[in-house]
């Protein structure tokens, strides 16, 4: 965790963006020589303190990722590529784990301002390890471990800028490159928040599946459940929206952060298209040998009238169908974590997780991990959960591969931050959109269990799609 410092960047006279830029460049000149740039192989990171915490990361040209959680005051963003490793197929996470272990063994950090921050990587992957390269999110690889060249990290009012390079590297060329990157990003860090745009009309396009095909798909799933081949399966929809203007990613991230402060806002861009999510569901958080994992399943709408909203909440707490759907997820998460934990606490929940547009049943499973368990192993064990796939896991996955009329891409995959010790946090990619210019393909799903009604499940997906569609109106 970052700790207080006495850096001169906290001096109020230094807070103007140009003065901060000058100070950071001077600090870069002073400290770049401490990096082991002549060392053969490995990576080196230089951490420079910023004068205050950050709320929104700026949008720059080129590859980037952005994770922000309003209520927790956390932000991580990465720009450019210092190193990347890709994989696909059943062994994708084991392949990336081997690469990440190699990085961790040869990754040196210099923190001259004693911020306590460290460099970090991003791990992200699609829903299915075998999805074709021509899927709707083809611009993102099936699975990737990515070290950004320039990163921003903000927590609890403190922030740092992190520069990372592969080794060996010449000091003169690196200094020029990093100065240019500071020129690009630092003046944007203190820009005032963008004024909200007038809500724009979005043209609603095709849904895949459409309502009639959805109805048949739900009945087919219920037949599998009646035959006891499945306990639960999660069906997904894709809806295309077209805007009147090119969608602005900075405004979209700001809108999502404002509208859904208890969600993790995720934005990832590799090429021309961006993948954006506002997800309420954490796959897990690992801190050293401690683990917390979310079990979220069971959904109801919200109401503007307070009395009606409270009535819906009470109904969700007592709904036999929703409680049964929730328990399937709790049992699966507990079983997965039992394979890598010394001890597990009884699940905490279910409680109500209320968002602006929907509310969910949520439980948290906590425990103490065995030694040498890392984010890659946890991702293998926990993904996909019954909340996004079904139960039993493999049977549900096989049925969806045969029956679902679209490829999910990164929807219901996972992404998050990997620390240098290979601990970290991943989030399930829900309430998502793939965005290119004026086109946005939105994704949402619903869990089918015994007693599910096709039209009720369709309405549930409509409520979930509204999260992204509402924010897109202001982007």
Give the active site residues: 232, 281
CA torsion sign for 388, 393, 397, 399 is negative
The full DSSP string for 159-200 is: EEEEEEEESS--HHHHHHHHHHHHHHHHHHHTPPPPPPPPPP
Cα 242 to Cα 439: distance, rounded to the nearest angstrom: 5
Phi, psi of 295 (to 5 degrees): -125, 105
Cα 162 to Cα 151: distance, rounded to the nearest angstrom: 5
Cα 432 to Cα 438: distance, rounded to the nearest angstrom: 16
Cα 20 to Cα 444: distance, rounded to the nearest angstrom: 42
298 closest CA partner among 284, 313, 311, 310: 313
Cα 449 to Cα 236: distance, rounded to the nearest angstrom: 14
* Two tokens, residue 439: 């086109």
Whole-angstrom CA distances from 131 to 123, 161, 232, 310 are 17, 35, 22, 42
* Two tokens, residue 147: 């070290």
β pairing state of 121-125 and 143-147: antiparallel
Please report which helix (H) or strand (E) contains residue 79, including its range: strand 74-79
364 closest CA partner among 356, 375, 353, 354: 353
Phi, psi of 190 (to 5 degrees): -110, 15
* Two tokens, residue 102: 């190699």
Cα 390 to Cα 397: distance, rounded to the nearest angstrom: 7
CB atoms within 10 A of CB 439: 16
3-state secondary structure of 141: coil
Cα 446 to Cα 462: distance, rounded to the nearest angstrom: 10
């Amino acid at each position: 965790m970052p700790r207080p410092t006495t850096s001169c960047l906290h001096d109020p006279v230094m807070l103007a963006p140009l003065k901060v830029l000058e100070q950071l460049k001077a600090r870069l000149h002073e400290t770049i020589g401490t990096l082991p740039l002549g060392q053969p192989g490995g990576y080196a990171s230089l951490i420079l303190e910023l004068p205050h915490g950050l709320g929104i990361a700026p949008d720059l040209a080129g590859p980037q990722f952005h994770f922000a959680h309003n209520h927790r005051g956390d932000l991580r963003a990465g720009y450019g590529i210092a190193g990347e490793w890709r994989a696909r197929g059943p062994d994708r996470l084991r392949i990336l784990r081997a690469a990440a272990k190699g990085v961790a063994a040869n990754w040196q950090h210099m923190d001259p301002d004693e911020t306590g921050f460290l460099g970090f990587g991003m791990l992200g992957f699609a829903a299915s390890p075998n999805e074709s390269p021509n899927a709707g999110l083809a611009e993102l690889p099936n699975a990737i471990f990515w070290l950004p060249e320039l990163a921003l990290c903000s927590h609890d009012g403190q922030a740092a800028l992190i520069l990372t390079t592969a080794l060996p590297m010449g000091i003169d060329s690196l200094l020029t490159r990093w100065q240019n990157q500071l020129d690009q990003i630092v003046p944007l860090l203190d820009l005032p928040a963008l004024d909200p745009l007038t809500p724009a009309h979005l043209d609603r396009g095709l849904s895949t599946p459409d309502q009639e095909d959805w109805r048949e798909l739900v009945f087919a799933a219920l037949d599998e459940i009646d035959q006891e081949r499945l306990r639960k399966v999660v069906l997904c929809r894709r809806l295309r929206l077209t805007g009147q203007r090119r969608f602005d990613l900075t405004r979209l991230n700001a809108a999502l952060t404002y509208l859904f402060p208890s969600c993790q806002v995720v934005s990832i861009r590799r090429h021309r298209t961006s993948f954006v999510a506002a997800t309420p569901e954490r796959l897990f958080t690992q801190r050293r040998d401690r683990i917390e994992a979310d079990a979220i399943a069971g959904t109801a709408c919200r109401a503007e009238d307070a009395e009606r909203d409270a009535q819906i909440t009470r109904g969700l707490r007592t709904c036999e169908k929703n409680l049964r759907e929730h328990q399937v997820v709790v049992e699966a998460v507990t079983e997965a974590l039992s394979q890598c934990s010394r001890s597990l606490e009884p699940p905490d929940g279910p409680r109500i997780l209320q968002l602006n547009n929907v509310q969910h049943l949520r439980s948290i499973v906590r425990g103490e991990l065995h030694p040498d368990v890392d984010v890659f192993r946890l991702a293998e064990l926990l993904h996909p959960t019954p909340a996004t796939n079904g139960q039993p896991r493999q049977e549900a996955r096989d049925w969806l591969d045969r029956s679902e009329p679209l490829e999910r891409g990164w929807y219901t995959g996972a992404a998050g931050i990997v620390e240098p010790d290979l601990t970290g946090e991943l989030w399930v990619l829900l309430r998502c959109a793939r965005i290119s210019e004026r086109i946005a393909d939105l994704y949402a799903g619903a869990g089918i269990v015994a007693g599910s009604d096709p039209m009720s499940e369709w309405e549930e997906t409509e409520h979930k799609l509204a999260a992204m569609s509402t924010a897109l109106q202001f982007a």
